[in-house]
């Protein structure tokens, strides 16, 4: 008896998903990971911001806020350091998405006495 060939999708190895957005010097970044209707997925998510620091950092600070599906995931404000170079914040976390669940990530930054340089979100399927 001849074997029936498998569909092409069943013979391809699964390639892990990678989603990223680089918002440059914007105050907010948005990353949408669409739902998958066939499988559960787990993502390792990295959020980062950097600011340019002047020579006088008296009273300077920077802050990063991470929202996942509208809920506050993490927030931090710190005094800016490293005169004449850059400073930043980063946060990493994991999120499992159930079958049919999407993920909306919003990264916001605020600062005083320094200037925004880069805002980045990366999500890699584990």
Q: Going residue by residue through the chain (126 aa), what tens digit of pLDDT does each one get?
A: 556 665 555 555 689 999 999 999 999 999 999 999 999 999 999 999 999 999 999 999 999 999 999 999 999 999 999 999 999 999 999 999 999 999 999 999 999 999 999 999 999 999
Q: What angle do CA 123, 124, 126 make, to 5 degrees?
A: 135
CB 65 within 8 A of CB 105: no
63 vs 78: CA distance, rounded Å: 6
- pLDDT at residue 9, rounded to an integer: 55
- pLDDT at residue 5, rounded to an integer: 60
Report the length, in residues, of the chain: 126
SS3 120: strand
Q: Is the pTM of this model over 0.85?
A: yes
């Amino acid at each position: 008896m001849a074997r029936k060939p498998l569909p092409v999708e069943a013979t391809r190895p699964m390639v892990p998903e990678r989603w990223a957005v680089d918002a440059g010097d914007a105050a907010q970044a948005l990353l949408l990971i669409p739902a998958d209707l066939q499988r559960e997925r787990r993502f390792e998510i990295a959020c980062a911001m950097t600011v340019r620091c002047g020579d006088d950092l008296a009273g300077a600070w920077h802050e990063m806020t991470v929202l996942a599906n509208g809920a506050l995931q993490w927030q931090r404000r710190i005094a800016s350091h490293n005169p004449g170079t850059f400073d930043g914040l980063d946060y990493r976390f994991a999120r499992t998405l159930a079958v049919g669940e999407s993920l909306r990530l919003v990264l916001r930054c605020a600062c005083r006495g320094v200037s925004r340089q880069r805002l980045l979100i990366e999500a890699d399927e584990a």
